[in-house]
A and B are shown apart, each in its own frame.
Chain A
């Protein structure tokens, strides 16, 4: 046992500081806003009384600016943090992407040209495209099928929990879980990975699944589908339950079978939820980092944009190229969001 509480004391002290800071900042803000206006109000009352007594008119328009003062203080922490932590850094990233590795010289668009020139970066873009195509499609399909299958079934809550559970597991944990499924031992030895065991039972030679491109990228994609299907299932299941029952009953009376019911009633009914799920999963997949980093660390042709971004910016010190990759990531998110906004708006108009 080398776990010594004395060694851990500084951490607990930090936690204490953090919580105290929280109480002081938030409590202080509320207290300040509570006490000061009351005092101001009292003073205004006094002035009002004085004004009434002397008969001089009060200047109008004060109340509105006081509202603005409240808003300022309520919004101050958020706006300040977003400015320092997100807006300014994002703009600086944009600028850095036009500079060289240690940000001393302007290089124009060379960092963007570099992506197209280098075959390994083109591979990365291709891998990312594969991820963004397959994960939303398959995760949503599995989630939808499952949601329809267990709808109003016995033990529905339990059945849903089982699929939903991976949502609580970190990508790192999921990576280890699946790395164990894909584990390899040489032919002749007992397999410890489930996939290789099944493969051997079917008469195959044990494979180093994670070292064989392009199959390994597909196997990593399976992990993401495993995580995201639960999310898709929960959102779609709620949407299915929101379809009016009289509509379904009317269809039943008209003799519509289950298959037709799915395509003609369920699917159109849950379209907005489908869009939300596909978009959310797509964006999460685009930014995916943890699974690849845990399972292959980007080796064997499995790299994606986010892992390469990390390598460039934080391991190789190529700030310019890393920033350019971040900008590309941002640019790729935009059309997905535009699609969502447009299709939801169209939905509203219909």
Chain B
């Protein structure tokens, strides 16, 4: 009368089913959680974007979420904030141009100088090479705040020790102050730039370099014809990084460009509007979007390079 229970078939199935259910539940929870995070992260920007297209009286009296019940669109805010006649309107078109004028040279100069330095530190043998590399590497940890006051006084008064003038004052005014901003941005960008590009340049195959040397190529020729084409991805990554940094910077621009519409970039103007006209949401929303749109486009179209650069050297000090 022994009942041989059919063990195998019975016990094997339930765990798998339960396991499958649990796994599906897990992924369902995971999906839900990730969607919640994604929504929370997106909604503030979305609200700003929607608001920037709503008429002024609506922005100021009703929440942007009511837009979907009563959609009214206008480009008036953008027209006002970019080209408005009154001085309070923003006049962002002019500042937009300033941002471009500031950004282009502030990206080009560090890119070129850092590439040259990175090549020299990686592939030219000379005494003290390691020390210079360590020095530049260590400079990454010096906050740019450490340099602001003396650098500004250098631009306006020159550098002197004990009454002897070592470097003359630059005495720049109006548009010429762009030079100060370029200079400051270039200096502050170099430690990270050299570090990032050196990581990349030093990994190029040694055989290639030695073959070129044996063929009698000089360092400038190797740099131009072999190294530059090979490190284009790294240059792109660092270029995007520096572009975002300069375009989005407030502190350096505030100090070296001043607040006037001759030189100040968008960020300075927007920060000013947010301070003095904090309730003029029709201007702030559209203005913020004007400032955001360029880096956003650059970022979305070149995200691949940017991420690669970030991963290559996310050790910014």
Contacts and interface: CB of A to CB of B under 8 A. Distances in A.
Interface of A: 1-3, 7-8, 10-15, 18-19, 21-22, 26, 29-30, 33-34, 37-38, 41, 64, 67-68, 70-72, 74-75, 77-79, 81-82, 84-90, 92-93, 96, 142, 145-146, 149-150, 153, 159, 161-173, 175-181, 183, 189-194, 197, 226, 229-231, 234-235, 238, 258, 276-277, 279-280, 283-284, 286-287, 289-290, 293-295, 297, 306, 309-310, 313-314, 319, 322-323, 326-327, 329-330, 333-334, 337, 340
B237 interface: no
Interface in B266-299: 267, 270-271, 274-275, 278, 281, 284-285, 287-288, 291-292, 295-296, 298-299
A229 B41 contact: yes
A15 B105 contact: yes
A74 B120 contact: yes
Given A3-B83, A90-B147, A229-B41, 20 more contacts: A10-B175, A11-B97, A11-B98, A15-B101, A18-B101, A18-B104, A19-B105, A30-B223, A38-B218, A64-B126, A77-B113, A165-B45, A167-B244, A179-B274, A277-B314, A290-B267, A306-B251, A314-B148, A326-B149, A327-B146
B151 A226 contact: no
Contact of A192 (B147, B176, B187, B281): B281
B184 interface: yes
B229 to A, nearest CB: 15
B288 A22 contact: no
Interface in B127-167: 127, 129, 132, 136, 139, 141-152, 154, 159, 167
**4 smallest beta-carbon distances between A and B, as pairs:** A85-B187, A170-B248, A74-B120, A168-B299
A2 B91 contact: yes
Contact of B296 (A87, A169, A189, A333): A169
Given A18-B182, A175-B274, A177-B288, A322 B149 contact: yes
Nearest to B105: A18
Contacts of B34: 146, 149-150, 153, 159
A180 B281 contact: yes
Most chain A CB inside 10 Å of its own CB: which residue of B59, B94, B250: B250
27 contacts: A1-B85, A14-B176, A15-B178, A18-B182, A68-B127, A71-B126, A75-B132, A81-B183, A81-B190, A84-B154, A84-B187, A88-B159, A161-B300, A165-B41, A165-B299, A168-B295, A172-B270, A173-B291, A176-B284, A190-B61, A194-B63, A258-B26, A277-B314, A283-B141, A293-B271, A294-B250, A310-B251
Given A163-B38, A191-B63, A310-B251, A181 B47 contact: yes
B212 interface: no
B8 interface: no
B101 A329 contact: no
Contacts of B196: none
A344 B248 CA distance: 31
A310 B115 CA distance: 32
Nearest to A189: B61
Contacts of A18: 101, 104-105, 178-179, 182
B124 A86 contact: no
Contacts of B141: 283, 330, 333-334, 337
Nearest to A157: B303
Contact of B150 (A2, A92, A226): A92
B283 to A, nearest CB: 10
B295 A170 contact: yes
Contact of B267 (A30, A88, A172, A238): A172
A192 B94 contact: no
A312 to B, nearest CB: 10
A71 B66 CA distance: 64
Nearest to A69: B126
Contact of A179 (B31, B142, B278): B278
B194 interface: yes
Interface in B214-236: 218-221, 223-224
Interface in B80-121: 82-85, 91, 93-94, 97-98, 100-101, 104-105, 108-109, 112-114, 116-117, 119-121
A256 B146 CA distance: 51
B150 A93 contact: yes
Contacts of A72: 126
Contact of A78 (B117, B221, B288): B117
Given A153-B34, A172-B274, A290 B188 contact: no
Contacts of B82: 3
A30 B112 CA distance: 11
